[in-house]
Amino acid sequence: MKKLALLSTVLALLSISLYADDPAKIKGEATCAKCGLHLTDSCQDAITVTGADGKKEVILCDKNAVAKDFHGTICKGTANVTAEGTITEKDGKKVITLTKIDEAK
C-alpha cells in the first residue's frame, strides 16, 4: 500500500513538472513594465492579458534575447501582441520566458 501511495505521488509530481514546461501561447497588450506600468526599476517587457473571468493580469517577460529585441517597439508605447514561451512564477509574479513575440494584426 505504501508503494502504491509513493508511486501515485511520484506520477502526480511528474505530470505537474511536465505541464509546467509546456509552451504557453498568450495574446495581450505589451508595454514596458518600467515606463508604462511603473512596476519595475528597469525597462522590461510586460504583457497584460485578460483571463476567462474578465480580470486583467500582468505577465512580466524574462529578460532574454527575444524580449530585448522586441523592447524598442513598446518602450514608449503599447502594442497588441501574440507571444509564446514558458510561464513560471518568480517572487509571486508570473513571468514568461519568451520564445516568440509578434505584433497582432
Q: How far apart are CA 43 and CA 32, in angstroms?
A: 6
Cβ proximity of 59 and 101 under 8 Å: no
- Over 80: is that where the pLDDT of 105 sits? no
pTM score, whole prediction: 0.77
Cβ proximity of 44 and 34 under 8 Å: yes
Please write the tens of the pLDDT for every residue from 60-76.
999 999 999 999 999 88
